[in-house]
């Protein structure tokens, strides 16, 4: 959990001596712009759940989670079941039938994971500080499989009031080897959705993003980051992109490394993080806090505002089909 810190911690999240150190498997040391166990700034805050990509972990996008927290949100993330439950990890020698059953179990675990996490955050047992979650102002952000999770959870849980889907899975025609997840969009009310996607996304290409956008039964908006791929929504963009591009994938996924462009040809991690942080915060501020400044920002020419900050982007506008004369 990330939460707004008390005034005495001002600036400590930016100094190496007081920044939090995270050790990720298999022993990678990372820093995040947060102070572990900091005294909280007392108050009731809107809460955001973050859902990571397939096979990822809860620290996959600390650049975003810490940013939201620093602007007055409680943010919570967990390691989803496919990385924390041994029975859901791939085993050497498993049959095709066993693999298919395991993948279905992984998919089935995602929404319950998310609901469990929110229950924990809202319960008294999770309240370890003076920062209290507001149960009436809940949002969710997810990347990739986590983006699918963010779009799937409202089908069974009415508590979520705003969604940011970062390059989400769930289109009807996934590429070979991509998780076969589907969405019913059986929501019972309008939940404003902001889609943030990449125009050079090899794993989850733009046509699938357009399909999800068109099927979304709510107020929605899509902003496209130019010259960006699937890893542009994570920490350490350049490092992550090149490590994935150089992986030797199994045959069914070998197209990924063949088709990915070198990161030097794409937008920088700094540009991508500015894009994701700024637009996610604006959407949550407008929808959960009802902030007039955020609403005014979102009403302007978003690609133009980003261009003024050195970020190349475009907005996808829905096509209204006219039937008959």
- pLDDT given for residue 302 in this prediction: 97
pLDDT-based confidence at residue 325 (cuts at 50, 70, 90) = very low
Query: Which two tokens mark 92?
Result: 């050497």
pLDDT-based confidence at residue 321 (cuts at 50, 70, 90) = low
Q: What is the pLDDT of residues 278-295, one digit of tens each?
A: 999 999 999 999 999 999
Domains and CATH numbers, the chain: 7-90+97-316 (3.40.50.1820)
* Distances in whole angstroms, Cα of residue 316 to Cα of each of 166, 223, 242, 243, 281: 15, 6, 28, 30, 20
Q: What is the pLDDT of residues 221-261, one digit of tens each?
A: 999 999 999 999 999 999 999 999 999 998 999 999 999 99
Mean pLDDT value across residues 258-273: 97
Mark out the alpha helices in 123-223 (DSSP H runs): 145-152, 206-215
- As a whole-number percent, the residues of the chain with pLDDT over 70 amount to 97
- pLDDT given for residue 183 in this prediction: 96
pTM: 0.95
Mean pLDDT value across residues 196-212: 98
Tokens 């806090």 — which residue?
Answer: 289
Cβ neighbours of 207 (radius 10 Å) = 9
- pLDDT given for residue 156 in this prediction: 95
* Displacement of CA 84 from its chain's centroid (Å): 19
pLDDT-based confidence at residue 50 (cuts at 50, 70, 90) = very high
Q: How far apart are CA 115 and CA 122, in angstroms?
A: 11
Q: What is the pLDDT of residues 97-115, one digit of tens each?
A: 999 999 999 999 999 999 9
What rounded mean pLDDT belongs to the chain?
A: 94
pLDDT-based confidence at residue 127 (cuts at 50, 70, 90) = low
Mean pLDDT value across residues 307-324: 82
- pLDDT given for residue 62 in this prediction: 97
Please report the DSSP string for 78-105 in residue order. Answer: ---HHHH-GGGS--TT--HHHHHHHHHH
CB 302 within 8 A of CB 223: yes
Q: What is the pLDDT of residues 151-162, one digit of tens each?
A: 999 999 999 999
Q: What is the pLDDT of residues 137-183, one digit of tens each?
A: 999 999 999 999 999 999 999 999 999 999 999 999 999 999 999 99
């Amino acid at each position: 959990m990330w939460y707004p810190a008390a005034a005495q911690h001002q600036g400590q999240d930016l100094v190496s001596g007081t920044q939090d150190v995270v050790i990720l498997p298999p022993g990678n040391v990372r820093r995040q712009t947060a102070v572990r166990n900091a005294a909280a700034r007392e108050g009731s805050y809107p809460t955001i759940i973050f859902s990571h990509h397939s096979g990822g972990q809860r620290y996959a996008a600390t650049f975003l989670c810490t940013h939201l927290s620093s602007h007055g949100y409680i943010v919570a993330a967990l390691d989803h079941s496919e990385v924390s439950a041994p029975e859901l990890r791939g085993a050497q020698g498993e049959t095709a039938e066993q693999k298919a059953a395991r993948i279905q179990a992984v998919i089935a675990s995602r929404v319950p994971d998310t609901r469990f996490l929110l229950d924990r955050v809202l319960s008294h047992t999770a309240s370890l500080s003076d920062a209290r979650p507001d149960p009436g102002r809940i949002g969710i952000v997810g990347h990739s499989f986590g983006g699918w999770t963010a779009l799937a959870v409202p089908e069974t849980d009415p508590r979520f009031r705003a969604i940011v889907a970062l390059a989400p899975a769930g289109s009807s025609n996934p590429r070979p080897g991509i998780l076969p997840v589907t969405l019913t969009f059986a929501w019972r009310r309008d939940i404003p959705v902001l889609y943030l996607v990449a125009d050079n996304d090899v794993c989850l290409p733009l046509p699938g993003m357009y399909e999800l956008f068109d099927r979304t039964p709510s107020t929605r908006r899509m902003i496209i980051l130019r010259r960006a791929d699937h890893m542009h929504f994570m920490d350490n963009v350049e490092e992550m992109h090149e490590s994935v591009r150089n992986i030797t994938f199994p045959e069914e996924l070998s197209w990924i490394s063949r088709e990915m462009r070198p990161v030097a040809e794409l937008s920088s991690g700094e540009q991508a993080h500015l894009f994701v942080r700024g637009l996610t915060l604006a959407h949550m501020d407008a929808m959960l806090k009802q902030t007039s400044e955020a609403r005014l920002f979102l009403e302007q020419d978003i690609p133009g505002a980003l261009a003024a900050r050195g970020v190349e982007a475009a907005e996808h506008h829905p096509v209204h089909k006219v039937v008959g004369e």
